Structure 1
Amino acid sequence: MSNGDSAIGQAADAVEDASNAPALDVLARAGFAVMALLHIMVGGMAIAVAFGQPGDADITGALSQLVANPWGPVLMWAGVAACTGLALWQASEATVRARSLPGRERLGKLISSGFLAVAYGSVGLSFAGFAVGLRGDSGDSTRDFSAALMAHPAGLWLLVAVGLTTMGVGVYFVVKGLRQGFRAELFRFRGTRRGGLIDVLGVVGHIAKGIALNLAGLLFVIAAAKHRPEESTGLDGSLKALRDHPFGPALLVAIGVGFIAYGVFALVRARFGRM
């Protein structure tokens, strides 16, 4: 091994040691708890939308409710810290902690945990935006993002790529739920009655989240196919689009219940999950 390789290895070891710091684990667990709360709130709002109630059934809608209470600013900054910690923990999972895995598993971990790091980091940015008073509509933001992509020479294909990537992540969540791949994250309750209940929450929650992501991704693809970026409206728009279909309200309720199940699962993950 050359001196350069040795130095890189020592640096990677130092980064891995830092990623194992108790403080980062605490922040990451807090991040899981924050995501649990947001999913439960989004699930409740999806059910409300199914019955014709107003509101945004997405992260923005949940943050709008949280920031409106007297402790709103404190909650927003706490959310920034928790989601940033969780994003850093997922980034370490994707890189330095995956060094010892076989090639294919290491690549899979890089993709899955890397995507989650970006997703949790973006939620942290949303918390920061609300904390400093930058509160916008998620549907408008998604439409603006899609329009900006479409203005690029390769925008059509970029928008399709965004949609297919979102749908791919949705498929990942569905498969993870069906195969109970989440059980590796929670090993304490295996073989117990409580473990069986947690498995049900994990299956239902992951499948519901996967379906919702597929719907949101499909809107990106449709918007690209029609050259109409205004039709890409994110999670809230995709859920509200269901409401006008014959079985839409029932499906919305099912997705809402699934999001709540995922949120409860994430709470258990926050407390007892492998770190």
Structure 2
Amino acid sequence: MTTAKGAARAATDSPVFRTIARIGYVVLGIVHIVIGAIAVSVATGGAGEADQGGAMEKIRDTPAGVLLLWAIVLGLTALAVWQVAEAFLERNSDAKKKWGYRVKYIGTAVAYLAIAFTALVYALGGSSDSSQSSQSLSAQLMDSPGGLFVLILIGLIVLAIGIAFIVRGFTRAFEKRLDLPAGAARKGIVTFGVVGYVAKGVAVAVTGALFVVAAFTHDPEAAGGLDGALHTLAGLPLGSVILWVVAAGLIIYGVFCFARARYARM
């Protein structure tokens, strides 16, 4: 076990691996910027799916899009491995103190791998529909024993993740994992982080709430994933304004990811 940990530590500490992991933050930023841009289109009455699948489709349609998709696969997979290393190699005080931090790292790794898998599907010429997948999952759970409970649990977990993003933004907890420069640059990066985390948290929280609504109304179509959440925001009073704000926040979060690539502690 000690040998395995030593080998894993050596691999994740290598300059090449760290560079690839930092590229992961860059491509993560690109994905969020594209999702935000699609959300702006939705807010103005345009078409498009404002989720990972919609973003990957837009990226694939650009010059060198397939190459960028492979960069997303590689970068986010490296980031996922890094998160797992943070959870189990105990290189930081967080992992030593609480299992809760380890759960957070593993959850983040799973999220990165999910986006990487979507990119892989599109890089290989396929496609996916997260809204349809969410609705299909909801329908299957509703038809299975205890499925409603599981669906509500999924919704509450996703809702909690969204709230955690919002809290992390307002409390500026993300600063702990960054080595930021002093002066105006630091203020600008922190501001982008606060706005970005809160906007993403709102989008994720609404996504979770829709799973709970789907369970209580026995309507699997209510669970529409991130795209469904953003369309739900658009349908609220002053919804177009709210969606504009969230869309701009997602774009800002994407830009923040660029800064994170440079200043993340790795």
TM-score, normalized by the shorter chain, greater than 0.5: yes
Alpha-carbon distance in structure 1 between the residues aligned to 2:111 and 2:148: 23
Distance in 2 (CA, whole Å) between partners of 1:148 and 1:95 is 34
Whether the 8 Å CA contact 1:83–1:124 is kept in 2: the answer is yes
TM-score (ref. length: structure 1): 0.92
- Assess, with a 3 A threshold, how the Cα gap between structure 1 residues 102 and 96 changes in structure 2: closer, same or farther: closer
Which residue number corresponds to residue 167 of structure 1? 159
Would the aligned equivalents of 2:87 and 2:95 in 1 still touch at CA under 8 Å? Answer: no
Quote the Cα distance in structure 2 between the aligned partners of 1:157 and 1:133. Answer: 36
Asked if 1:152 corresponds to 2:144, the answer is yes
- Equivalent pair of 2:86/2:95 in contact (CA under 8 Å): no
User: In structure 2, what is the equivalent of residue 197 of structure 1?
Assistant: 188
Q: How many angstroms does 1:73 deviate by? A: 2.2
State how far apart, in whole Å, the 1-side matches of 2:99 and 2:32 are: 28
Separation of aligned partners in 2, 1:180 and 1:41: 24
Within the alignment, does 1:85 sit opposite 2:83 as a pair?
Answer: no
| 1:119 alignment partner in structure 2 | 111
Query: 1:123-167 deviations in whole A, cap 9, x for unaligned?
Result: 110011111222022211111122222232121111111111101
Name the larger-Rg structure.
1
CA contact (8 A) 1:16 1:97 kept: no
Q: Find the residue that maps to 2:36 and give its secondary structure.
A: helix
Shift of 1:178: 0.8
Which residue in 1 is equivalent to 2:121?
129
How many angstroms does 1:98 deviate by?
4.8
What letter corresponds to residue 26 of structure 1 in structure 2?
A: T
Q: Which runs of 5+ in 2 are unaligned?
A: none
- Alpha-carbon separation, structure 1, partners of 2:40 and 2:93: 44
CA distance in structure 2 between the aligned counterparts of 1:155 and 1:98, rounded to whole angstroms: 39
For the residue of structure 1 that corresponds to 2:105, the secondary structure is helix
Residues in 2 aligned to 1:204 and 1:76: alpha-carbon distance in whole angstroms: 27
SS in 2 for 1:97: coil
Q: Secondary structure at the match of 1:57?
A: coil
- 1:169 deviates by 0.7
Match of 1:182 in 2: 174
1:17 aligns to what?
Answer: 10
Q: Partner of 2:241 in structure 1?
A: 250
Q: Among all aligned residue pairs of Structure 1 and Structure 2, give the percentage whose two residues are the same amino acid.
A: 37
Partner Cα distance (1:116, 1:172) in 2: 12
Q: Distance in 2 between matches of 1:121 and 1:78?
A: 13
1:220 maps to which of 200, 211, 214:
211
State the one-letter code of the partner of 2:73. V
- Give 5+ residue unaligned stretches, structure 1: 1-7
Residue type matched to 1:131 in 2?
A
For residue 34 of structure 1, what is the amino acid of its counterpart? V
Partner of 2:37: 44
Question: Residue 250 and residue 63 in structure 1: after superposition, are their counterparts in 2 closer, same or farther (change >3 A)?
Answer: same
Between the two proteins, the alignment pairs up a number of residues equal to: 266
